[in-house]
Structure 1
């Protein structure tokens, strides 16, 4: 797969090079059945071309027979020498040629679709191999559009290069040979000049249209990106009443697409007209020559009809030459960006000879870790600490201190610039990413669910788990009772990104799937920061159960959730400012103590306001209650 990757380039503007690059997909290794389909499709393709050349001959003989001038004795059977028999033979030959064409297409269909599937699969896998940085910088709508157009472009290139380009040139050579042998060099010269001018004009005009097509694709991608982004943020649009602004942004992109698409169709009209003029002039000259020959008695009317029929047949593959070239060039434009995506190197890759992570205890150690997303702005500046096996260590600090970055580094979404992160003494950069991530469970701050059932989202932690295990995980996460109350139970759809569930319900689903995964190492990345106090307490109780006897790294904003941690690390500006237990840090009366006091005051104020509201509501109820 890696070797194939090197052969395909976004700059592959040569159709022949494209065929070479795509050949491994059209002639797939290990698929003898598909290879034989290619062979038989090619055989039927060539047979259909030879049969097609018989049609003008039968047509010519039919005309001559109607004029009483047919002389094919010894070549055709006696029963076919009559005009009616020759007319019937003409149409039977057309049907036979059509049958071979359809058989060719049917055989090649699975080959073309296999190539599309393999390249689409490769692109999908490659997208998941790219770094988190890449996906944060790209827009989902634009990526989906690029892949969609790219797969269609690949299908076009695979189909047309094999099924049309080669047979078209074969037909041209046979036609030229027939004209030369039957009617002289002048007919061959006219045919050659006409075809050369036709192809030259087609290539030049198609190259001109490529820039127009590229502009249309860019506008299409931009419009699709804006539409997807707006729909994903549906609630935000409603909150601020900006439907009209979103519609204008989308329409501005569509206006550019409209202009570019109009230019594409207009330029296509000029291309078709120019092709018609060139071929029409060539046909006129050749038929004028033939008409003079008929009047001079050198040719029969059948010869005149034969030449016209041959030219009409040649116009079809010639038109395909223009069509195929345009489609290949436009297909290359469509897959240009997708090939560009395939050439993006993953930022995080397994080291050569990387072994699977061997978990014995699950102890984590950060050793002098330095990291920066941008070299001009360091995030972590020499962080060192350990999370002993089965213990819980919490990392707290102001926003932007680098807390969540630590969880991303442990998961190897990024690699450290210097220092090391180890699990049981094994550097995470020296083990396979798959084994590393299978050993770690994550409950993130922003839980995003798949647009599927609750059961599917919980089972995502361990896809092979049975229903009993899913239900048990839901009970541990304290969401089992809620699910049982739903009309469809575990089969309830959660909606796009899980928006049909509340924040607390989504967090419980996230906890349940982590419970089902049952990892030896657990990361809780501000899992309760977006919840109200009551829900936070319920979720925290579930998290305490999950983290029991597991090596746990807690990234926390609310300090009330980390009181029971074995050690608390206080980060400030990417450095460890303080560390110790909750009680020791309060006694120290430093940064942690000031953060604790501020949050406690805010919590007390929140609870006081809640009590006031409840007493006011009770007073209203009392005043409105009827006297007894």
Structure 2
């Protein structure tokens, strides 16, 4: 039942192109009908034109056979073009659908899924089904039509020989189904192995992976691990290629023997003095029989390939069946025409990644428009999670987060992205030019706007000094730039987008004092005139915040300004003292 359901889903993939497939079917049908004419012309040549010396008829029959070859070739080229076009469009639809579904998945999905696994689904699985998608539909239509046309023509020539030729077909179908089931199982194992290898390549051959492997002296071990995985893949590939070969060779032997049986039967009846069929009919019949056997074998092989490819489709459908936890509202709230002021409110917010433990519990915080909030606490206290709730990278488990009184879950994704900007502690840069990385925030930004944003982020002079200026490639994950430079590029990108609310997951704790001051100056420029929520790792950077909230195990334990919290000599004062000791040391 599962396989039948998947077949129905595969068929639905072709529905948008049914008119083209109908044209392919018409071309295949014409090609098959034209091809069937050749054996009848052969019979006429042997039984009529040659014995009676009818040269005119012989010439017409010869020209007819040439015309059949020309027409079938023309029809074949056109049907190949159309079927390939349809197949490639279906592949495009699949790739796009999977990519779009993954883009809609929440951040939590990617924190628990290996990047190599995701890439393998798109590259290996969809790529592996290319031959099935591009040729299977045409192959099925062509071979079914050829088989039907050949059987009808064979019955027209001699029904007794036709029944003898068809007696083994049920046995062939049974063998093909067994082989297909075996290959489907092996294909699933092979694709999982390829996904594992893709993950190893993605992790170990990135810049970070190479640095880690070499500095830890693990490069030889990584090579051995990859070789071990590759050997397992070799075994699966061999098993896949050899699955059912002996059984299928039996089909080939039997089918090759069937014309010999026909000749033998015809010869016995001729020796008895009562010829079963004429010589021309016998030659025409065996020609048709060969025309039947070839598409019949291909049809059975196609069935095996379809069953094997079901494992690939199953893996793709698993991703297409994923349901995002965070969905866009059916009727998004309309933002006021005057624009967002940027007031943020956490109303009794609770959040849990799973049912066992709350990360945040009963958070109640108000951030007036244009003010700054700093969130501090021990590692694991929920600081980053709380900030990400504003941008709806996660959805609250209880309570709500509002912007200007509107629940963020009621805003469209586009409005929310335009309203809330995030500068995370891990700056991600594309392997593209500096300008392209900045324009990722605003594709239509002018060069003057790029320069202004870079100046505000204290990075313009450095970019201008590069050999290619703003056209300089940043390298994979921005490894051409230092940590502080990457952070300032991220700030420039956020300034260019210019949202009224900024969530700053500050990444200055790993920077030296001078670089920290430069990045902090860029952050201060970004924060000017907008609501800012700073997730503080180094407390010296948030002394001027309008309010500071201290989290401990997901709860607010203190709140106030820097002087107020110091005067209480509580949790915040203890964190600050520890931070200052670390800074000195």
Selected match of 2:8 from 14, 17, 26: 17
Deviations 1:526-556 (A, max 9, x none): 2323322211110101111110110000001
Say if 2:200 is the partner of 1:200: no
Q: Is the 8 A contact 1:177 1:188 kept in 2?
A: no
Q: Which residue of 1 aligns with 2:220?
A: 244
Q: Which residue of 2 aligns with 1:523?
A: 503
Are residues 215 and 482 of structure 1, via their aligned partners in 2, closer, same or farther at CA, if it must alter by over 3 Å? same
Q: Is the 8 A contact 1:202 1:275 kept in 2?
A: no
Q: Is the 8 A contact 2:125 2:191 kept in 1?
A: no
Q: Is the 8 A contact 2:32 2:146 kept in 1?
A: yes
Q: Which residue of 1 aligns with 2:231?
A: 255
Map 1:273-292; keep pairs closer than 5 Å. Answer: 273-292=249-268
* Displacement of 1:454: 0.8
* Displacement of 1:272: 3.2
Q: Which residue of 1 aligns with 2:465?
A: 485
Are residues 69 and 561 of structure 1, via their aligned partners in 2, closer, same or farther at CA, if it must alter by over 3 Å? farther
Q: Distance in 1 between matches of 2:40 and 2:6?
A: 34
Describe the SS at the equivalent of 1:382.
Answer: strand
Describe the SS at the equivalent of 2:91.
Answer: helix
Q: Is the 8 A contact 1:56 1:306 kept in 2?
A: yes
Q: Which residue of 2 aligns with 1:579?
A: 559
Describe the SS at the equivalent of 1:378.
Answer: coil
* Displacement of 1:18: 4.5
Q: Which residue of 2 aligns with 1:90?
A: 65
Deviant stretches of 4+, over 6 Å:
none
Describe the SS at the equivalent of 1:56.
Answer: helix
Describe the SS at the equivalent of 1:17.
Answer: helix
Q: Which stretch shifts more, 570-579 or 394-403?
A: 570-579
Selected match of 2:186 from 212, 220, 233: 212
Say if 2:31 is the partner of 1:48: yes
Describe the SS at the equivalent of 1:413.
Answer: coil
Map 1:299-318; keep pairs closer than 5 Å. Answer: 299-318=277-296
- Consecutive unaligned residues of structure 2, counting only runs of 5 or more, are none
Are residues 228 and 98 of structure 1, via their aligned partners in 2, closer, same or farther at CA, if it must alter by over 3 Å? same
Q: Distance in 1 between matches of 2:532 and 2:576?
A: 22
Q: Distance in 2 between matches of 1:123 and 1:545?
A: 39
Q: Is the 8 A contact 1:451 1:493 kept in 2?
A: yes
* Displacement of 1:268: 4.8
Deviations 1:216-256 (A, max 9, x none): 22212211211212113221111201011111221222121
Selected match of 1:131 from 106, 123, 134: 106
Q: Distance in 1 between matches of 2:6 and 2:400?
A: 48
Say if 2:157 is the partner of 1:179: no
Q: Is the 8 A contact 2:86 2:134 kept in 1?
A: no
Say if 2:513 is the partner of 1:533: yes
Describe the SS at the equivalent of 1:384.
Answer: strand
Describe the SS at the equivalent of 1:522.
Answer: strand
Q: Is the 8 A contact 2:177 2:303 kept in 1?
A: yes
Q: Which residue of 2 aligns with 1:330?
A: 308
Selected match of 2:143 from 165, 168, 175: 168
Q: Distance in 2 between matches of 1:66 and 1:237?
A: 80
Q: Distance in 2 between matches of 1:403 and 1:350?
A: 25
Are residues 259 and 70 of structure 1, via their aligned partners in 2, closer, same or farther at CA, if it must alter by over 3 Å? farther
Q: Is the 8 A contact 1:25 1:115 kept in 2?
A: no
Deviations 1:399-433 (A, max 9, x none): 00100001221111221111111000011112222
Describe the SS at the equivalent of 2:167.
Answer: helix
- When the two structures are superposed, what TM-score results if normalisation uses the length of structure 1? 0.88
Q: Is the 8 A contact 2:47 2:278 kept in 1?
A: yes
Q: Which residue of 1 aligns with 2:377?
A: 397
* Displacement of 1:525: 0.5
Q: Distance in 1 between matches of 2:479 and 2:504?
A: 21
Q: What is the total number of aligned residue pairs between the two structures?
A: 579
Q: Distance in 1 between matches of 2:315 and 2:367?
A: 44
RMSD, matched Cα: 2.2
Are residues 522 and 437 of structure 1, via their aligned partners in 2, closer, same or farther at CA, if it must alter by over 3 Å? same
- When the two structures are superposed, what TM-score results if normalisation uses the length of structure 2? 0.94
Describe the SS at the equivalent of 2:494.
Answer: helix
Q: Is the 8 A contact 2:419 2:500 kept in 1?
A: yes
Describe the SS at the equivalent of 1:365.
Answer: strand
Describe the SS at the equivalent of 2:347.
Answer: strand
Q: Is the 8 A contact 2:419 2:499 kept in 1?
A: yes
Q: Distance in 1 between matches of 2:411 and 2:224?
A: 50
Map 1:214-613; keep pairs closer than 5 Å. Answer: 214-232=188-206, 233-293=209-269, 296-358=274-336, 359-605=339-585
Describe the SS at the equivalent of 2:14.
Answer: helix
Q: Distance in 1 between matches of 2:353 and 2:138?
A: 49
* Displacement of 1:278: 3.1
Q: Distance in 1 between matches of 2:73 and 2:182?
A: 35
Q: Distance in 2 between matches of 1:468 and 1:63?
A: 85
Describe the SS at the equivalent of 2:181.
Answer: helix
Q: Distance in 2 between matches of 1:517 and 1:105?
A: 48
Are residues 472 and 292 of structure 1, via their aligned partners in 2, closer, same or farther at CA, if it must alter by over 3 Å? farther
* Displacement of 1:387: 1.2
